[in-house]
């Protein structure tokens, strides 16, 4: 059993890490601004599902392959970058669709372009599991709060990973609500929505390039 003070220290670290700017919370904010808070929460659920995957890899010892194999690390990060570029292409294509000149037409086109609920949930999963840095991050973080005397290290890591996921779920959902509220208050017009699509496309491209140049260290 993990002592309460150790759990409290881990929760504090998890909150600080979740609040720090990174690809996951940036992804949630951009998508929530585009599609609304509910769909931002769906993406958050997808990201948290991906975290379950990474927690399992670390707890089982499989994640170490990304630490020792440059090939495995490169293949997964390339797949992740390719997916981000695909999302960028989708966003930029949506923002460049011709033939909608009225505000009503823009609004209708924008509403049609909003992905379905499961598509957004799947988007969150793919965004997370194709980033090998998440496994390496957990591989560095979780053992720091694992003490053999407190029980099986793998079970402790699963428990700590679950705590991190719950913290991320709460905070990222709040990010979704905040981003959607700001968008509705300050960027409510269809023209602004199109610009948000373009900004999101640029963010995805930047995230893809950042992932491609990421090293294992």
pLDDT digits (tens, 9 = 90+) for 168-208: 999 999 999 999 998 877 766 667 667 777 887 888 898 88
Shortest CA distance to 163 belongs to which of 3, 12, 28, 33? Answer: 12
Q: What was the pLDDT predicted at 113?
A: 57
DSSP, collapsed to helix, strand or coil, labels residue 214 as coil
- Tell me, what's the pLDDT at 114? 65
For residue 217, the model assigns a pLDDT of 62
Band (107; pLDDT cuts 50, 70, 90): very low
**pLDDT given at position 111:** 43
Termini Cα distance of the chain:
31
The percentage of residues in the chain with a pLDDT greater than 90, rounded to a whole number, is: 40
Backbone angles phi, psi at 62, to 5 degrees: -70, -30
pLDDT for res 103 = 46
Tokens of 53: 């995957």
- The full set of domain ranges for the chain reads 25-212
Helices (H), ranges, 64-116: 64-68, 70-95, 103-113
pLDDT for 100? 46
- The per-residue pLDDT for range 45-81, each reduced to its tens digit, is 999 999 999 999 999 988 888 888 889 889 988 998 8
How many helices (H) and strands (E) would you count in the chain? Answer: 10, 0
Q: Are 189 and 80 in contact (CB under 8 A)?
A: no
Q: Which of 105-119, 146-160, 183-197 has the lowest mean pLDDT?
A: 105-119
In contact, 176 and 28? CB cutoff 8 Å: yes
Two structure tokens written together for 119? 């598509």
For residue 97, what are the CA distances in angstroms to 2, 100, 113, 187?
Answer: 55, 8, 11, 19
Q: Report the pLDDT value the prediction gives residue 172, as an integer from 0 to 100.
A: 96
Nearest-angstrom CA–CA distance, 134 and 216: 11
pLDDT, tens digit, 9 for 90 and up, residues 117-149: 899 999 999 999 999 889 999 999 998 898 888
pLDDT-derived band at 92, boundaries 50, 70, 90: confident
At 8-43, the pLDDT tens digits run: 999 999 999 999 888 888 899 988 988 889 999 999
């Amino acid at each position: 059993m993990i002592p309460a003070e150790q759990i409290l220290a881990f929760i504090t670290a998890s909150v600080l890490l979740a609040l720090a700017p990174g690809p996951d919370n940036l992804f949630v904010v951009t998508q929530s601004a585009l599609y609304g808070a509910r769909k931002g929460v769906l993406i958050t659920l997808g990201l948290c599902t991906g975290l379950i995957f990474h927690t399992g890899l670390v707890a089982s010892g499989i994640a170490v392959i990304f630490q020792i194999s440059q090939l495995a690390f490169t293949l997964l990060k390339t797949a992740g970058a390719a997916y981000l570029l695909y999302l960028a292409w989708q966003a930029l294509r949506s923002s460049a669709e011709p033939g909608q000149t009225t505000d009503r037409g823009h609004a209708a086109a924008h509403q049609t372009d909003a992905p379905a609920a499961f598509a957004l949930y799947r988007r969150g999963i793919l965004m997370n599991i194709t980033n090998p840095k998440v496994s390496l991050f957990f591989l560095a973080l979780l053992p720091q709060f694992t003490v053999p005397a407190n029980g099986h290290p793998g079970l402790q890591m699963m428990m700590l990973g679950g705590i991190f996921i719950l913290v991320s779920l709460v905070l990222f959902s709040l990010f979704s609500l905040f981003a959607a509220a700001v968008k509705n208050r300050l960027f409510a017009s269809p023209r602004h929505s199109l610009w948000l699509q373009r900004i999101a496309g640029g963010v995805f491209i930047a995230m893809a390039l950042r992932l491609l140049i990421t090293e294992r260290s």
